[in-house]
DNA sequence: CCAATCGTCAACTAAATGGTTGAATATGGG
DNA sequence: CCCATATTCAACCATTTAGTTGACGATTGG
């Protein structure tokens, strides 16, 4: 079954989880490596990954004792489509996009004390 | 200040609030009228509207004793832009969009007993 | 003016969320 | 085989969330 919009938007509502998604843009990662830049416990990150997984935003594949996390960008499709209904077609402003991604990459909760 | 992505996505994560946004696509509405199709109390809807308002997704203007709620689609821009970063440019599939909006309009929580 | 309407506030509840720690379960390497 | 590594589980805690009800303040219309 496809995850509900509830689940997808709720998953996206947490800055730690969005930061994880941004990290996974680069490459697939093991759970431990995902957790590394954050100040919270591995167990907490593991929970966040479960939430992202249930939302369909990532997939996790266990190879050996390592569980690899992979971005599943298609899951954003439903949410994206929902948002299009509010006339956001012209939202694809690359300038804004770049500024935004930049703040998201420089700002995020990893080491946010 | 512009509402955070946290606030916007969290606001979108609730089906009642998404249903309210869909209702407001049609036209501006008074709080009481927004509440009408739902089974929950007026106070509950009032709280939902506050959350949508803080997220910048709607604006509220009081004229006389009636408070009018108006969709503010621009607020979705940041969230939309964020999602574009995951390669969703081809997500604007009108077929999927129409199917989706349809289910959202026929399914939603109003009178969901 | 006064009653009815519109909407919020305050106080409360139940459940969900995001975090912790410590133990438990796989798995792999030397 | 055994220890270290990788990850989750279980129990717990504090905070937030979504809802309720009843009282309250503001406004309007007859």
Q: Is the pLDDT of residue B90 over 60?
A: no
The pLDDT, as a whole number, for residue A81 is: 75
CA distance B108 to A25: 33
| A/B interface, count of CB pairs below 8 Å | 109
**Closest listed residue to residue A96, CA positions, set B73, B7, B76, B51:** B76
Q: Which three-class secondary structure state does DSSP give residue B95? A: helix
From the C1' of D28, which residue's alpha carbon is nearest? B65
Within 8 A by CB and 6+ apart from A36, the residues are none
Q: Around Cβ A27, how many Cβ atoms within 10 Å?
A: 11
pLDDT score recorded for residue A51? 98
Q: Are B6 and B82 in contact (CB under 8 A)?
A: no
Does residue B102 have a pLDDT over 70?
no
What is the architecture of the domain spanning A5-106?
Answer: Orthogonal Bundle (1.10)
Question: Rounded to whole angstroms, how far apart are CA atoms B3 and A112?
Answer: 20
Given a cut of 90, whether residue B76 has pLDDT beyond it is no
Within 8 A by CB and 6+ apart from A101, the residues are A22, B82, B85
**Average pLDDT of adjacent 10-residue blocks, chain A of 113 residues:** 89 95 90 96 98 96 95 80 61 51 52 37
Q: What is the pLDDT of residue A106?
A: 54
Which residues of chain A from 4 to 43 reach within 8 Å of chain B, CB to CB?
5-6, 9-10, 12-15, 18, 21-22, 25
Which pLDDT does position B82 carry in this prediction? 75
- Per residue in B2-41, pLDDT tens? 888 999 999 999 999 999 998 998 899 999 999 999 999 9
Side-chain half-sphere exposure of B66, counting CA atoms within 13 A = 10
């Amino acid at each position: 079954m496809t995850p509900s919009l509830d689940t997808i938007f709720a998953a996206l509502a947490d800055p730690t989880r969005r930061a994880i998604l941004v990290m996974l843009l680069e490459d697939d990662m093991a759970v431990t490596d995902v957790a590394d830049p954050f100040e919270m416990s591995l167990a907490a990150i593991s929970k966040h990954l479960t939430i992202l997984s249930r939302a369909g935003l990532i997939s996790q594949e266990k190879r050996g004792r390592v569980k690899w996390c992979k971005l599943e960008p298609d899951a954003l499709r439903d949410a994206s489509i929902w948002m299009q209904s509010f006339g956001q077609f012209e939202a694809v402003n690359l300038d804004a996009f770049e500024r935004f991604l930049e703040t998201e990459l420089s700002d995020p909760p990893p080491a946010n004390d």
